[in-house]
Amino acid sequence: MNKAEKIVQIQKEVERLSLSARGIARGTALTPNTVLGVLRGEEKVQEATVNLIWFFLGLDHDCTPTKVGQSVPA
């Protein structure tokens, strides 16, 4: 499996976990504003997770190689 395929696989897993978190939030007695805040926070965590995965695989967002220690643009 090449790096691009690994990224796709990891992104799918992050999305699956994201959907699970949304389902949990909807199943609670939280107010709509609280749920919205949870979802916004979750999106930021998901985005940060994907950025870290790209960084540690040594790839940029467009799957071009980067050097370890080099920042990956958001």
Cβ–Cβ < 8 Å for 52, 44: no
3-35, pLDDT tens digit by residue?
Answer: 878 888 887 877 776 666 666 666 666 655 666
* pLDDT (average), residues 41-66: 67
- 33 burial type by CB count under 10 A (0-12 exposed, 13-18 middle, 19+ buried): exposed
Strand, coil or helix: 66:
coil
Supply the pTM of this predicted model. Answer: 0.36
* pLDDT (average), residues 32-41: 64
* DSSP-assigned states of every residue in 24-44: HHHTS---HHHHHHHHHHHHH
Check pLDDT > 60 for residue 1: yes
* pLDDT (average), residues 49-57: 71
Average pLDDT, the chain: 66
The dihedral built from the CA positions of residue 32, 18, 70 and 60, taken in this order, carries a sign that is: negative
What does the pLDDT read at residue 74?
47
